[in-house]
């Protein structure tokens, strides 16, 4: 998912370095592998320290878990922490750099290639990057890792992949299955494979205990599964229904009749592959028909999904909607799905290996294309609903919903783009990319939005109202990126094309032309164009982005021109319109502009009030530009009221954001000038040493903690 500009924290917390989370379950001893990874990075005697270590091994062997445990152990050695990048949901290698940036978090909003931005960002950092599940993107991973390691001497990369990346200097560590005991081994009960089976059985079956008679069966079961962790976990889940002895007997039968009956075989298959394939095929065989069907159909999802979405995409006459929740529950009990509680409910995900088998069975059923279309249709409908509802009272809920669905939105778009040789699919890709304007612009994904809008506009070049809208929604994306040349080109096409359509399309063209003048920094051109866009019956219609953008751009230009009272009158109308509809994001932009006006008029308390209101909303929506500007407005107010230490600290806090965004103050001349004036006055008031001390304290403060302090009217901590 979303391109966070920060991560949460509690007051008093030091600046966080890394995004690793606590493991979901207890793991058996992998200390030897974790220690070996550390030795490889440090450099064993006679060997140079490695900068790229790739963990390889069969699917289900536990590469991800070993990597995460190793990263947690190594994190204290890296000044800038350890960062996990999950690549499993990613389908296009072209977005690999974007995905890494999103995890770091680095929400760059420039026109520079993301790989160049990443290289520059990492150049002076000491950081461990964990790239998990690289095998489907090995070419892209090889190119990106080589470029980043070349640019950043303090960077180390730990990758997991079933295939090596084939990069110069890459060190390979094969992760083997867990050791299994021999017959009669007195230490059998403490063998890692047996311990894992026992742990997972106790999690699956409350009160599960191992009798003396069970030990031999547990050992035989682990040996039959070759110590493969995923196979063991699938077997443990069956202990809800079967005693150990019967479970082992059934698995023996499965091996005996395996042959090619599940359709997933290979010549000279290693025993570990056979063990996993057998365990998965056996689990599949023991599922009910409804469970098998849902397992296959759920393979179309990328990342996680919720129960209602699974029902809408997967249910039909063969799998009734009313049955779907219960089947999700039983698949979770059988460890086919992983249940993930979230702040807003619950979601499910499937391990990559199990998803691959599900996708194979879906193809065997002849349903792959139909389910991928249903998946795309669901997310297209979701995009349409979000398009209509974003300017309204449920904006925060839509933000949470869409950021949770980021991986699936990508997958749905990519399906239509891949099938775009047929005009209908290309048109649907264009419609979806345009409908997601609020996701690109309002949820922090402007660079990715540019990527998909460019692709969709190229996929369907036919004149249409949808194309006009796509050109129009490119406007806010290109303004954020500061790409005046591309914006001028889009505006010219939008204007020419809109002439053949109705009033709505002509308004889109006028709004796009307005943004051109905003980016050119010409307030004398912006104000009359904004007035023209507002000289309609928009007040009697459902509120949309267009008049709100005209009000924000118009008021900013009025403030820049020194027409403060006029600006405040416009801002009052903006606030009233947003309050009537419950809209928050554009209201927050209005609060920021209002803070600028109040500062100019010498009303500093009012300026602080509006800057804090803007900060609260922009932080909630992960709008890095809005958050940075609001922090700097607070800094300007602090300087004006003689709170110069706090001002310097706030400037340092804001600088953290600008480093991740790439364009301080989004390149807006008036805002750049305000920052420079604030810096100069604060330096003069404090002196260089005191200013630098407070500024660096702001740079070192956890961003969420600092923002919470600013919102509580708290003075900066004493540097």
Token pair for residue 196?
């894992």
pLDDT confidence tier of residue 2, bands split at 50, 70 and 90: very low
- Taking 50 as the threshold, does the pLDDT of residue 13 lie above it? no
Q: Which of 542, 541, 489 is nearest to 515 (CA)?
A: 489
pLDDT at position 158 over 60: yes
Residue 10 phi/psi, 5° resolution? -105, 150
What does the alpha-carbon distance between residue 693 and residue 687 come to, in Å, rounded to a whole number? 10
More confident residue, 216 or 78: 78
Beta bridge partners of 341: 346
Provide mean pLDDT across the span 349-375. 95
pLDDT digits (tens, 9 = 90+) for 447-460: 999 999 999 999 99
The topology under which CATH files domain 31-174 is Rossmann fold (3.40.50)
The dihedral over CA atoms of 252, 256, 262, 266, expressed in degrees to the nearest 10, equals 110
Stretch 324-341: mean pLDDT, rounded? 93
- At the topology level, CATH places domain 287-365 in Arc Repressor Mutant, subunit A (1.10.10)
Domain residue limits, the chain: 31-174, 182-256+272-286, 287-365, 616-713
Longest CA–CA span in the chain (Å) reads: 90
pLDDT on residue 23: 75
Burial 409-422 (b: 16+ CB within 10 A, else e): bbbbbbbbbebbee
Q: Mean pLDDT over residues 627-646, rounded? A: 96
**DSSP conformation letters of 475-488:** HHHHHHHT-HHHHH
Q: What mean pLDDT value characterizes the chain? A: 90
* pLDDT, tens digit (0-9, with 9 covering 90-100), for 391-441: 999 999 999 999 999 999 999 999 999 987 766 889 999 999 999 999 999
Structure confidence at residue 665 as a pLDDT band (50, 70, 90): confident
Percentage of residues in the chain with pLDDT exceeding 90?
Answer: 72
- Check whether 261 has a pLDDT greater than 80: no
Q: What is the pLDDT of residues 536-580, one digit of tens each?
A: 999 999 999 999 999 999 999 999 999 999 999 999 999 999 999
3-state secondary structure (DSSP) of residue 517: helix
- 243 pLDDT band (50/70/90 cuts)? confident
Residue range 119-124: mean pLDDT, rounded: 94
When pLDDT is cut at 50, 70 and 90, the band that residue 180 belongs to is: confident
Tokens of 77: 């050695």
Q: Is the separation of the CB atoms in 595 and 637 below 8 Å?
A: yes
Do the Cβ atoms of 657 and 645 come closer than 8 Å? no
List Cβ neighbours of 609 (8 Å cut-off, separation of 6 or more): none
> Where residue 251 falls among pLDDT bands split at 50, 70, 90?
confident
In the predicted structure, residue 270 carries a pLDDT above the cut 80:
no
For 91, counting Cβ atoms within 10 Å of its Cβ (0-12 exposed, 13-18 middle, 19+ buried), the class is: middle
Q: If pLDDT is split at 50, 70 and 90, which confidence band does 715 have? A: very low
- pLDDT class for 16, splitting at 50, 70, 90? low
Query: 545-560 and 669-686 are packed helices; what angle lies between their axes, rounded to 10 degrees?
Result: 50
pLDDT at 94 over 90: yes
β-strand partners of 14: 701
Q: Tell me what pLDDT residue 215 has.
A: 81
Whether the pLDDT of residue 267 is over 90: the answer is no
Lowest average pLDDT, out of 33-42, 204-213, 312-321, 608-617, goes to 204-213
Crossing angle of helices 523-534 and 545-560, in 10° steps, is 150
pLDDT value, residue 363: 96
Q: How many other CB atoms are there within 10 angstroms of residue 378's CB atom? A: 19
Q: What is the pLDDT of residue 188?
A: 66
């Amino acid at each position: 998912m979303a391109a966070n500009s920060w991560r949460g924290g509690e007051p008093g917390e030091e600046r966080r370095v890394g995004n690793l989370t606590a493991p979901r379950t207890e793991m058996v001893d992998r200390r030897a592998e974790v220690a070996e990874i550390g030795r490889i990075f440090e450099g064993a005697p006679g060997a140079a320290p490695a900068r790229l270590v790739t963990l390889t091994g069969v699917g289900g062997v536990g590469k991800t878990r070993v990597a995460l445990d190793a990263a947690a152990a190594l994190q204290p050695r890296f000044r800038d922490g350890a960062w996990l990048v999950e690549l499993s949901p990613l389908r296009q290698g072209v977005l690999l750099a974007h995905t890494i940036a999103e995890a770091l978090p680095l929400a760059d909003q420039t026109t520079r290639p993301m790989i160049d931005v990443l290289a520059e960002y990492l150049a002076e950092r000491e950081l461990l990057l964990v790239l998990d599940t690289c095998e489907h993107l090995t070419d892209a991973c090889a190119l990106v890792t080589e470029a980043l390691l070349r640019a950043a001497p303090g960077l180390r990369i730990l990758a997991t992949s079933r295939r090596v990346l084939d990069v110069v200097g890459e060190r390979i560590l094969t992760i083997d299955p867990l050791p299994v005991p021999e017959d009669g081994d007195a230490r059998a009960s403490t063998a890692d494979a047996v311990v894992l089976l026992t742990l997972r059985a106790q999690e699956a079956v409350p009160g599960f205990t191992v009798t003396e008679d069970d030990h031999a069966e547990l050992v035989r079961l682990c040996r039959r599964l070759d110590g493969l962790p995923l196979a063991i976990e699938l077997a443990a889940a069956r202990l809800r229904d079967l005693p150990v002895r019967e479970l082992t007997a059934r698995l023996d039968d499965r091996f005996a009749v395996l042959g090619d009956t599940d359709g997933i075989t290979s010549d000279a298959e290693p025993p570990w592959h056979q063990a996993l394939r057998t365990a998965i095929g056996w689990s599949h065989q023991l599922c009910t028909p409804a469970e098998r069907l849902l397992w296959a159909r759920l393979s179309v999802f990328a990342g996680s999904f919720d129960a209602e979405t699974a029902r809408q995409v997967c249910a039909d006459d063969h799998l009734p909607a009313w049955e779907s929740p219960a089947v999700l529950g039983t698949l979770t009990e059988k460890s086919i799905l992983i249940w993930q509680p979230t702040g807003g409910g619950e979601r499910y995900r499937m391990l990559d290996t199990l998803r691959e088998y599900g996708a194979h069975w879906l193809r065997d059923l002849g349903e792959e294309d139909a389910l991928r279309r249903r998946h795309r249709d669901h997310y297209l409908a979701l995009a349409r609903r979000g398009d209509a509802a974003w300017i309204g009272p449920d904006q925060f809920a839509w933000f949470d919903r869409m950021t949770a669905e980021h991986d699936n939105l990508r997958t749905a778009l990519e399906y239509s783009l891949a099938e775009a040789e047929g005009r209908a699919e290309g048109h649907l890709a264009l419609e979806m990319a345009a409908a997601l304007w609020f996701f690109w612009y309002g949820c922090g994904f402007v660079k990715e939005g540019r990527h998909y809008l460019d692709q969709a506009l190229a996929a369907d070049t036919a004149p249409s109202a949808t194309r006009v809208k796509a050109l129009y929604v490119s406007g806010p994306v290109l303004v954020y990126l500061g790409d005046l040349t591309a914006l001028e080109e889009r505006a010219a096409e939008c204007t020419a094309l809109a002439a053949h359509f109705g009033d709505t399309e002509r308004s889109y063209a006028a709004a796009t032309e307005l943004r051109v003048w905003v980016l050119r920094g010409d307030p004398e051109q912006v104000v009359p164009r904004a007035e023209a866009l507002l000289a309609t019956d928009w007040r009697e219609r459902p509120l949309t982005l267009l008049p709100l953008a005209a009000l924000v751009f118009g008021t900013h230009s009025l403030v820049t021109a020194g027409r403060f009272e006029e600006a405040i009158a416009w801002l009052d109308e903006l606030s009233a319109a947003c309050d009537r509809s419950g809209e928050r994001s554009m209201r927050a932009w209005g609060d920021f502009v209002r803070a600028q006006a109040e500062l100019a008029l010498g009303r500093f308390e009012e300026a602080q009030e509006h800057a804090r209101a803007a900060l609260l909303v922009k932080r909630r929506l992960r709008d890095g530009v809005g958050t940075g500007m609001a922090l700097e407005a607070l800094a300007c107010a602090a300087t004006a009221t003689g709170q110069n230490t706090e001002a310097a600290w706030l400037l340092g806090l804001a600088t953290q954001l600008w480093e991740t965004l790439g364009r301080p103050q989004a390149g807006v001349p008036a805002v750049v000038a305000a920052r420079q004036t604030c810096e100069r006055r604060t330096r003069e008031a404090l002196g260089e040493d005191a200013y630098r001390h407070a500024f660096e304290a702001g740079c070192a403060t956890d961003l969420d903690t600092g923002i919470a302090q600013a919102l509580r009217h708290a003075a900066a901590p004493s540097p």
